[in-house]
Amino acid sequence: MGVTLGLIAGYVGGIADAVIMRLADVQWSFPAILIALLIDGVARNMLPRQMQDRIAIYVLVLAIGVSGWVQFARTVRATTMVEKSKEYVQAARVTGVHPLRIMLGHVLPNTLGPVLVIGTIYLAVAIIIEATLSFLGVGIPATRPSLGTLIRIGSNALMSGEWWITLFPSITLAAIVLSVNVLGDWLRDTLNPKLRT
């Protein structure tokens, strides 16, 4: 969603760019967890009770995806605006190549490097959002494994002296997020030609 909207905003410009970026600004003003909670709450109210557990993961993926499209749209828009002014795009325009083909065949492949980096970094954010929603009891069903659910169950047992029930899922969550962030930093350094020696 973010890649598509960013590509349209950056290449087409004008009113499309203004509308998409104003929507991005509005969504940017709300924390991602609030948007995910809103989508999850709306889905729970609209769907019948017996259907909620079956499609809870899909609702969770939709909530996390919708709450994070702005970063992708802004990154792709900026990269597209740089790429569309380059000579190979202008040459394709002069030879009569359809604008959609230019966008998908020429501009989009050159924007995928930054998108890959943002994607790995946002993966860590998505893991934290899922764990937070599961900790609050509105993520995936309690019958399915989740680090947020394990931390919530462990926090209920903290006062009884069983601290390890919370400690090990918390350490696992921190290790996963840290490793994904390190992967994102490595990708950023690898894909950035200015940092190559």
Has residue 196 got a pLDDT over 60? no
pLDDT in tens, 19-39: 999 998 888 888 888 888 888
Residue 110 and residue 80: Cα distance in Å, rounded?
Answer: 8
Contact, 140 vs 127, CB < 8 A?
no
Contact, 35 vs 62, CB < 8 A?
no
Contact, 59 vs 43, CB < 8 A?
yes
pTM above 0.85, yes or no: no
Domain boundaries of the chain, sorted by first residue: 2-195
Residue 143 and residue 101: Cα distance in Å, rounded?
Answer: 46
Instruction: Provide the pLDDT for residue 146.
Output: 86
pLDDT in tens, 127-167: 898 888 888 888 777 778 888 888 888 888 877 878 888 88
Residue 167 and residue 188: Cα distance in Å, rounded?
Answer: 31
Residue 121 and residue 65: Cα distance in Å, rounded?
Answer: 14
Tokens of 156: 């209920």
Instruction: Provide the pLDDT for residue 171.
Output: 92
Rg (CA), the chain: 21
Contacts of 2 (CB under 8 A, 6+ apart): 68, 69, 70, 71, 72, 73, 76
**Is residue 60 classed as helix, strand or coil in its secondary structure?**
helix
Mean pLDDT of the chain: 84
Mean pLDDT, range 79-96, rounded to an integer: 86
Mean pLDDT, range 49-70, rounded to an integer: 82
Contacts of 166 (CB under 8 A, 6+ apart): 151, 154, 155, 157, 158
Mean pLDDT, range 49-68, rounded to an integer: 81
Residue 152 and residue 156: Cα distance in Å, rounded?
Answer: 7
CATH of domain 2-195: 1.10.3720.10
Has residue 194 got a pLDDT over 80? no
